Structure 1
Amino acid sequence: MSVLVYGIKNCNTMKKTFDFLEEKGVEYQFVDYKKQKPTEALLKGFLKKTNLDALVNRKGMTYRKLSDTEKEASQNSDTAIPLLMERSSMIKRPIITYPDGSLTLGFVPEEIEAKL
């Protein structure tokens, strides 16, 4: 099985994810948001499978540094998508997409393993 992993390479959570997948012998392709910004189509695709609250990482430093206006914009998908495209560090990491079209958000080994 091969999966697609989205995130930021230097993130500790991503390192755990890569180690986990390699330990399980899972082939993966990695899309680094810092090298390939997320597109509107990609984010809308994610939002068809999850909700905005799950997609936005509200615990991270990028989110905490936003102005109140930007934080408010992150509550609505129409205004959140451009914000997430510009500040990809606000997207929950990792997002893993599976051959069946499903996805998981965050590093939750039990959830990932259940999809493999």
Structure 2
Amino acid sequence: MDVTIYHNPDCGTSRNTLALIRNAGIEPTVIEYLKTPPTRAVLKDLISKSGLTVREAIREKGTPYADLGLDDPTLSDDDLLDAMLEHPILINRPFVVTPWGVRLSRPSEIVLDILPVPQKGPFAKEDGELLIDAEGNRIA
């Protein structure tokens, strides 16, 4: 199964998303994007295919977003992409790519919409929130 996650192991949402993918019996390609940032073309493609704007794909919390003046509404998409490529921590995460689509999986359960196979068993997030019951069904 061809699934890729742009992952930050220090991010709980990213860890939960990776665990949900694995709970479906899929071992994805894991790209630690802080170590191996995507190219400009790949980043633009991820953002476009996920249905987001470039600004929606920027992470503000815990990043140099404000220090770099990225809240300036006159900045172009190219300006924002330049900043994201120079400072990969600005790329929101985790992006997940499957044959059924691309999503920014925030919250982590969004990944369930693009996984090609059902969950194999129960799943709870790191904080204990139960997402999948014992039969592998999503809990509302």
TM over 0.5: yes
Identify the range of structure 1 (70-79 vs 1-10) with the bigger mean alpha-carbon deviation: 70-79
Aligned Cα root-mean-square deviation (Å): 2.2
State the distance in 2 between where 1:38 and 1:65 align: 23
1:105 is the counterpart of 2:104: yes
Q: Which has the higher helix share?
A: 1
State the distance in 2 between where 1:28 and 1:52 align: 25
Contact 2:9 2:32 in 1 (8 A): yes
Cα-to-partner distance string for 1:42-98 (whole Å, 9 max, x where unaligned): 11212332311321123x110455233x43289521101110011111111100011
Aligned counterpart, 2:53:
51
Deviating beyond 4 angstroms after TM superposition, the runs of 4 or more aligned structure 1 residues are none
Aligned counterpart, 2:79:
79
Shift of 1:109: 4.5
Q: Which amino acid aligns with 2:105?
A: G
The residue correspondences of 1:1-116 to structure 2 (distance < 5 A) are 1-49=1-49, 50-58=52-60, 60-68=61-69, 70-72=70-72, 75-100=75-100, 102-116=101-115
Q: Equivalent residue of 2:3, what SS?
A: strand
Q: Which has the higher contact order (CA 8 A, sep 6+)?
A: 1
Which structure 2 segments of 5+ residues have no match?
116-140
Identity of aligned residues (%): 23
Contact 1:54 1:105 in 2 (8 A): no
Which structure 1 segments of 5+ residues have no match?
none
- Please report the TM-score for the alignment, with normalisation by the length of structure 2: 0.68
Q: Which amino acid aligns with 2:45?
A: G
